[in-house]
Amino acid sequence: MQIGMIGLGKMGGNMAERLRRGGHEVVGYDRNPDISDVGSLKELIERLQAPRAVWVMVPAGAPTQATINELGEHLSPGDLVVDGGNSHYVDDQKHAAELAERGIGFVDCGVSGGVWGLQNGYALMCGGTTEHVAQVMPIFETLKPEGEDGFVHAGDVGAGHFAKMVHNGIEYGMMQAFAEGWELLEASDIVKDVRGSFSSWRTGTVIRSWLLDLLVRALDDDEHLDELKGYAQDSGEGRWTVQAAVDHAVPLPVITAALFARFASRQDDSPAMKVVAALRNQFGGHAVTSTAGSVEKGADSPGADVTPPVV
């Protein structure tokens, strides 16, 4: 099958390569001319035979919207757009409606697999009509891992990215659990082989997983993670998951806590903890650390006024 691929970064480039290895003809476009097959989106469309299929792999938000707008100007009725980026499911419904006015189909597809997808295949979660999904099913079959699993037509437009959003929320929680367990083991005076402990869990335990395998791999490279800074970015899907939970009144304590933990990682000097330290000093006389690094006396030191108010 012939398909246009827009966005040839780490994910899009590998996906294009996997499709070519699977016998498909891929025409790729990227803003980087060194890796692009064509010089513009218009040229990409001209290279494809009708009915055309175009897969979009650009950042969510404004870049995706701009791409959809331009594709709408150049594609023809009967053509199809697949958004395989990390778009918000609400945006999918908007994009589908915009393209439908021109007779152009739309499928949203959440993609998981990272840099390992070229070798192992990509887990695909798509949303759209049965007709539109069938139109690009040969592409899905090649991108997915071998076997029965790895692909789902999750529902209507937006369902694919909604499922991927929840997937990433679960991923947040799992990574946070591994992270907290690692920190506790590292803090222990009893456990001498933290890396070995994690490695031992890879066989026979209920927490064995690919994430665990990847953590052990990271510890093989840097046993105590001394070369890393404790800073973790979020892609936005964790936030969308928590917001969707609020919208549907579904409690997500683990995923929400994992998202907030990432926020905390970005604070070298937490403003909230300054308030906590100040209050502990005021009501309990606990010592505080100044910005100069020195430890100052607590509020209950001689001469300090800690008389509680008369109620």
pLDDT one-digit tens code per residue, 31-79: 999 999 999 999 999 999 999 999 999 999 999 999 999 999 999 999 9
For the chain, give every domain's residue range: 2-157, 164-265, 269-301
Q: Name the E strands within the chain.
A: 2-6, 25-29, 53-56, 80-83, 105-112, 123-127, 151-155, 288-289, 295-296
Report the predicted TM-score, pTM, of the whole model to 2 decimal places.
0.85
**Whether residue 164 lies in the annotated active site:** yes
The arithmetic mean of pLDDT across residues 94-121, rounded, is 95
CATH topology assigned to domain 164-265 = N-(1-d-carboxylethyl)-l-norvaline Dehydrogenase; domain 2 (1.10.1040)
Given the residues 164, 192, 229, 297, the one annotated as active site: 164
Angle subtended at Cα 14 by Cα 237 and Cα 79, rounded to the nearest 5 degrees: 75
**Residue among 44, 93, 35, 94 nearest 73 (CA):** 44
CATH of 2-157, one of 3.40.50.720, 3.30.413.10, 2.70.170.10, 1.10.10.10: 3.40.50.720
Please say if the pLDDT value at position 212 is more than 90.
Answer: yes
Please say if the pLDDT value at position 294 is more than 70.
Answer: no
pLDDT of residue 292: 63
> pLDDT: is 122 or 301 the higher one?
122
